[in-house]
């Protein structure tokens, strides 16, 4: 109970935080003209979103912040990750319960208990049980990490809607293959060139 209370307080504090103010006047608009919004996958996503709303939606429903930011492919990744983690959790829980019951039947000390798995040793069953317990725990940590990551992604993506990226700012990547430089010798690598006009 105490952990959930700390988690809820942390999420509430994250929603109330302000970062990187001030914003432009267009960005601070409270009303959105619903007639100008067209829900299309091919629509330009340069309209500005509100980071607090995107964060709140992501906290309330996983993937909703990405949908609010109109990054539908990211919402698909979130839901695919949730599906994969649910599958992994169910597999680990079922296998853990099976190996736990096998271990109990092997070490209960009752001679009338029928051992349905005589080919398995007690050490092997214990090792398998511990393996699936560890997988279950890692899967639960994966749920928490995916939940936190999608909240952070929704917030950062909403903040970056206002970022202006034009032709004056460019990053060029070019290969450097077998060049010779003094003091370094021959090398292979990449050159990153940031051009700001």
- CA atoms of 72 and 64, how far apart (whole Å): 9
- Confidence band (pLDDT; 50, 70, 90) for 24? low
Measured CA distances, 31 to 34, 65, 96, 163 (Å): 9, 19, 53, 21
Most confident of 35-49, 87-101, 151-165: 87-101
pLDDT value, residue 105: 85
Report how far residue 195's alpha carbon sits from residue 197's, in angstroms, rounded to the nearest whole number: 7
Poorest-pLDDT segment among 37-46, 123-132, 174-183: 37-46
pLDDT digits (tens, 9 = 90+) for 133-164: 999 999 999 999 999 999 999 999 988 877 76
**In the predicted model, what is the mean pLDDT of residues 157-172?**
74
Residue 77, pLDDT score = 95
């Amino acid at each position: 109970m105490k952990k959930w209370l700390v988690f809820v307080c942390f999420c509430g504090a994250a929603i109330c935080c302000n970062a990187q103010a001030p914003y432009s006047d267009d960005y601070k608009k409270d009303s959105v003209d619903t007639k100008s919004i067209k829900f299309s996958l091919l629509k330009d996503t340069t309209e500005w979103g509100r980071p607090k709303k995107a964060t709140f939606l992501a906290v309330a429903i996983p993937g909703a912040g990405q949908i609010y930011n109109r990054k539908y492919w990211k919402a698909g990744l979130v839901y695919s990750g949730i599906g994969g983690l649910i599958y992994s959790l169910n597999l680990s829980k079922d296998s853990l319960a099976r190996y736990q019951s096998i271990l109990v039947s092997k070490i209960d000390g009752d001679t009338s208990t029928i051992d349905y798995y005589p080919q398995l040793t007690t050490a092997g069953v214990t090792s398998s049980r511990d393996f699936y317990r560890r997988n279950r725990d890692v899967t639960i940590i994966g749920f928490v990490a995916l939940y936190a990551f999608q909240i952070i992604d929704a917030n950062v993506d909403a903040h970056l809607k206002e970022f202006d990226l034009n032709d004056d700012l460019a990053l060029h990547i070019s290969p450097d293959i077998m060049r010779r430089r003094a003091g370094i010798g021959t090398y292979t690598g990449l050159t990153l060139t940031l051009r700001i006009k």
